[in-house]
Each structure stands twice: as structure tokens, then as C-alpha cells.
Amino acid sequence: MLIGREQEQVLLHSLLKSDQSEFVAIYGRRRVGKTFLVRETFNYTFAFQHTGLLDAPMSEQLNEFRESLYSAGLPQSPKPKTWGDAFRLLQRLLAGLPEGKKVVFIDELPWMDTPKSNFIRALDHFWNAWATTRKDIILIVCGSATSWIIDNIVMNYGGLHDRITRQMLLRPFTLRECELYSRKNKLDFTRRQILETYMIMGGIPYYWSFLRSDQSVAQNIDRMFFEENGEMVHEYDALYASLFRHPKPHIEIVSALASKKAGMTREEILLSTGLNDNETFSKALKELEQCSFIRKYTMIGNKSKGALFQLMDNYTLFWFKFISENSRGETHFWSSNLDTGVYDNWVGLAFERVCLQHLEQIKKAMGLSVVISTAHSWTWKAPKGSQDPGVQVDLLIDRNDDLINLCEMKYSKAPYPLSSEELSRMEYRKSVFKRETGTRKRVVLTMITTFGLTDNANAADIPVKVKMDDLFL
């Protein structure tokens, strides 16, 4: 049963009613559920379907493509020698089918584009010279190599330029969708346990499929990530290698960003990694952003100057904080680190990332569904010699109704006891922000916590409060 993906299913079903042929590119990170979405939506029924072969030469790719044609009903024919021959055989198959929409699903398309194969040229000719002359073809392509899909299909400036009729970035599950998934699989996790699991794995359905109902969250994480044959032990290398054909600069960039909570400027990343400031570096940054591994943000009031890049991928953050640190190969490394200083440092940062990934839910909880707003971070460094501490605000919500929410995000296993000292620090950040930005908008202190605030005198000074349950909207 397909969990969530309601809007994506509506889009795919609408293709069947289109009065033209449709070319759809679906992309997203490894294991996010692209193939499952297409198969479930069309009930595993296609006029033709094929999956490319990983690391196979052109001759093997063509042979497997022919076998898929045979499985779809094409009479025996000579093995195609080129991709042009192969797509002409596909034309022959589709032309001989009864009237009605013909759904063609090609999975792992990037793997079919081997060196000097002229694959893109043949695909271009198939679509432009044949499929677009008809009204009954639905061509759906996808693949884990997101950068290839974007460069060669979505942003193609050759024959396929502007030929894509629909594109779909399939994003990870939200907390709500992970809760639905947990119920379906009878995991019986509480919302806090779902939240903490999300902090580790993000909303990747494939990762969640390894969770067992007979184990606690801690036992599951130890088994999946730290046991010798755990399902997630080798995921880090496979993840970046599957998304990017040349992943070395991508890995160096996320390695640098993993050490900086607030993020780094482009210049700081270059200095830290030693990478050259060239097109390869720019492309790697862009691809990491397109795949939602990092986010690019600017300080409030700045459009592009001083933009920061911040690591956002939950699994990658967990890998750097715990998996890469398990040098002795301890099989209970996660359980042994619970409630330690390392855990406390990680869980606070991870909770902030999850909040930033659920901004729409936070805005909805605050009643901002119809209010135009933008999210920012803000940093102020005190002048040299000043006794004032610097200020770091991880989330500001700038609204067009003349108000700015200055947000503080705190994770705890019970209602959060806001102390007088912490309230004073929040008030200080608010005053510095108003002074340094010169904003004329009203600035409102806002707290996002797991179980709300302890009912004390300090809590009354926080006008807006958002809880974990609101992230599940």
C-alpha cells in the first residue's frame, strides 16, 4: 500500500486524461520511493517497462532492452546495434497496441547512458520525431542519479530542451507520512520515538522498512547501523556514489559543512576543502542543494550577499556524529551513547534540522497558511574588543503582516523548563536583532519544543508556542 504521495498520484493519474503525449521526469535521492510510486500508481501495468543495468556496457544494455521488448509482446527481432535501432523497435511495439494511453516506464535511465553510446540523441529522436506526433504516449523516466536526470533531461538545452511536460522532485516523507508508515507496519512508536528516528534517517521509506516492531528504537538503530551486517552499514558510500557520477567533491563539501552548525560561505568551503573555485565546485554545490542535502540561505535583509550553505541531510549528520566515530566497531554504539554529552549535542542540532524541514507545518500551526512569509537565519558578530556576546538565530519567520517570529528550538523528553537566564538570553537576541537590522516590524519570541513549556512564570513571556505534535500536521 502506498503511503502519502497524494499530490504525486493526482499528477500521474491526470496524465491519462491529457490530450497530448506526456514526458515525465521523476527524480530524487536514492531510496526515496520513485519506482514504488510509479508502479503502485499504475498498478504495475505498463505498455512497456525497463530498468537500466548498473555499470553494464552498451552491448548488455541493448540486449536487456530487447528482452524487455520481448516481454512486452514484440515479436523476435535482431539484436539492436545502436540506441536508435532500440527505440525504433519500441516504436514498432507501441504502434501495434490497441487505442488508448500507452504508459512507458523506464527506470534507472542514467545507467543506460554509457560512454559514446549516443543514448540521449536516440531518446531525443524517439520523443521529438515520433512520440510528439501522437497523443497517446506517456513516457515516465526516473533514476537514482539525480544529477544526471537534472542535467540531461530536466535542464537539457539540446533536442530535449523544453520537451519535458512534467517534472517531479520526489521528496522524503514528512513526519506525518512516517507516522502513517509506522502504523501500517505496526511499529507502535510514540511520536517522540518517530521524531528521533526521523532525526537519524530522515523520511526515506527504504530506511524505515528495516525497522522491526519487536525491538526498541535504540535496538533497531544498533542493529541497522552498527552491527557487522547491518542494513545501513555501507549506505554512506553507496548514497553519494548513486546520486553523483563523480562524488568526491560532494563528499568533501558535506564533510566540511558537518563541522559547522550555522553553515559556511562559499569562500569558507573552498578554504576548508582545498577544492578549486571552478565549474566542478559550483556544480557540486548546486547538485547537493537540488538533492536537499544542503540548503542555501541568506541573512534577513540580504538577497544574495554572504549566502551560507548548511548541511541538512539527517542521515549524513548522524553518520558524521556517530557512525564515523565508531572506530572500534562497537555493535551497541548508539545505546551506549544515549544520554551522554555527545547525544545531547547531536539531538539539539538534529531537532533544529527537522524543524527547518517542516516549516510549512510550523507556519500552519501558527496560523500563517494564508500569510506570505519567508524563513531566514541571522548572525551578528560583536566588534573586536566588545564585551557583548555574538548572536545566532537559527530561524526567523519574516511575515508580510508586519511581524517577525524570532524562533528558539529546543528538544527535551518532557515539557521544557524555561529558566530566567535563558529567557534573558532570548530577550537579548531580540534586542540586538532589532537594533542591528533596524526593523520596524514587531518581533515576537517563539519557542518550538517537543512537549511545550513547563508552566512557570517565564513561559508566560513567550507569546507563540509550537509543539512536536504540530510538526505532524
306 pLDDT above the threshold of 80 = no
117 pLDDT above the threshold of 90 = yes
366 pLDDT above the threshold of 80 = yes
- Burial group, residue 2, by CB count within 10 angstroms (0-12, 13-18, 19+): middle
CA-CA-CA-CA torsion sign (296, 297, 303, 304): negative
156 pLDDT above the threshold of 80 = no
Helix (H, G, I), strand (E, B) or coil at 213: coil
Other Cβ atoms less than 10 A from the Cβ of 292: the count is: 18
Give the amino acid at 467.
K
Strand intervals (E) in 91-148: 102-107, 137-142
CA 220 – CA 197 distance, rounded (Å): 10
**Residues 255-264, mean pLDDT to the nearest whole number:** 92
**Residues 183-193, mean pLDDT to the nearest whole number:** 95
* pLDDT value at residue 163: 82
Q: How far is CA 414 from the centre of its chain?
A: 29
303 pLDDT above the threshold of 70 = no
State the DSSP H helix or E strand holding residue 397, giving kind and residue range, or none if neither: strand 391-399
pLDDT band at 300 (very low <50, low <70, confident <90, very high): confident
**Residues 438-466, mean pLDDT to the nearest whole number:** 97
* pLDDT value at residue 381: 87
CA 351 – CA 365 distance, rounded (Å): 17
Contact present, 176 and 473 (Cβ < 8 Å): yes
Instruction: Bin 342: left if φ > 0, else alpha if -120 < ψ < 50, else beta.
Output: alpha
Q: What share of the chain in percent tops pLDDT 70?
A: 99
**Residues 306-319, mean pLDDT to the nearest whole number:** 93
Contact present, 348 and 410 (Cβ < 8 Å): yes
Average pLDDT, the chain: 94
pLDDT band at 465 (very low <50, low <70, confident <90, very high): very high
**Residues 172-185, mean pLDDT to the nearest whole number:** 96
Angle at 112 between CA 110 and CA 116, to 5 degrees: 105
Joined grid coordinates for residue 301: 535583509
DSSP labels, 14-50: HGGG-SS-EEEEEE-STTSSHHHHHHHHTTT--SEEE
* pLDDT value at residue 311: 95
Q: What is the dihedral of CA 399, 400, 404, 410, to 10 degrees?
A: -10
313 pLDDT above the threshold of 90 = yes
* pLDDT value at residue 304: 61
Q: Provide the 8-state DSSP code for 222.
A: I
Q: What is the pLDDT of residues 199-220, one digit of tens each?
A: 999 999 999 999 999 999 999 9
77 pLDDT above the threshold of 90 = no
* pLDDT value at residue 157: 73
Q: 127-141, 144-158, 245-259 — which is least confidently predicted?
A: 144-158
* pLDDT value at residue 302: 67
229 pLDDT above the threshold of 80 = yes
**Residues 437-460, mean pLDDT to the nearest whole number:** 96
* pLDDT value at residue 385: 83
Q: What is the pLDDT of residues 324-340, one digit of tens each?
A: 999 888 999 999 999 89
Other Cβ atoms less than 10 A from the Cβ of 180: the count is: 16
**Residues 72-84, mean pLDDT to the nearest whole number:** 93
Helix (H, G, I), strand (E, B) or coil at 369: coil
* pLDDT value at residue 194: 98
Q: How far is CA 87 from the centre of its chain?
A: 33
Contact present, 149 and 34 (Cβ < 8 Å): no
* pLDDT value at residue 40: 96
Q: Which of 91, 86, 163, 88 is nearest to 124 (CA)?
A: 163
Q: Which domains does the chain have, with CATH numbers?
A: 6-169 (3.40.50.300), 174-357 (1.10.10), 366-471 (3.40.1350.10)
* pLDDT value at residue 30: 87
CA 7 – CA 419 distance, rounded (Å): 43
pTM: 0.92
Other Cβ atoms less than 10 A from the Cβ of 338: the count is: 13
pLDDT band at 347 (very low <50, low <70, confident <90, very high): very high
Q: Which residues contact 202 (CB under 8 A, 6 or more apart)?
A: 172, 313, 314, 315
DSSP labels, 149-207: HIIIIIT--STTTTT-SEEEE-PPP-HHHHHHHHHHTT----HHHHHHHHHHHTT-HHH
**Residues 255-259, mean pLDDT to the nearest whole number:** 95
Q: What is the pLDDT of residues 380-433, one digit of tens each?
A: 888 888 888 889 999 999 999 999 999 999 999 999 999 999 999 999 999 999
